[in-house]
Amino acid sequence: MTRIRRILGLDPGLQKTGWGIVESVDNRLKHIANGVIQTDPKAPMAERLRQISVGIEAVIAEFAPSEAAVEETFLNRNPGTTLKLGLARGVVLVTPARAGLDVAEYSAKEVKKSLVGYGSADKAQVAGMVARLLPGVEIANEDAADALAVAISHAHASAVSNRWAAAAAAT
């Protein structure tokens, strides 16, 4: 039975939140769209968070994903920066959840290992593998590449989980 899944990948950021949509059909991936939600750096925090939410809502409305995957953020040396990024990440998690999507989370190391086979791969290696897995894709920028990588990782991880579940049910 063929199952088509449309996955929204999100790379949280206060200035730029990357997003990417891939379609997973069995073991095949298809690029649907990608881009970046940019906030006004001069706007108050609440307005910037609203801009991220509205942007994600627009992506969900236009592309109708069935599920979402979000990259976990790393700790920064500056506590203030870490807190601000945490606020953005909260919006990135709750917006697709409010739209009724299941939301999975993956660490950057998990995403890199899934795509490149090496958890400390650099951004160029990740973007290169995204381009290889989605031939002909035009990636908006590195934030969008990271978001596509998260979506691809989720497609791979959930496909393996589904196979295990099917095998367990068959026994």
- How many helices (H) and strands (E) would you count in the chain? 5, 5
CA distance 11 to 6: 17
21 vs 100, 107, 147, CA distance in Å?
Answer: 17, 19, 8
Residue with tokens 């290169």: 128
Catalytic residue among 40, 57, 67, 71: 71
Active-site residue among 40, 110, 142, 143? 143
Candidate list 11, 23, 67, 146, residue with the active-site label:
11
40 tagged catalytic: no
Q: Is 143 a catalytic residue?
A: yes
Q: Verify whether residue 26 is a known catalytic residue.
A: no
* Residue 35, token pair as written in the block: 């881009």
Q: Which residues are catalytic?
A: 11, 71, 143
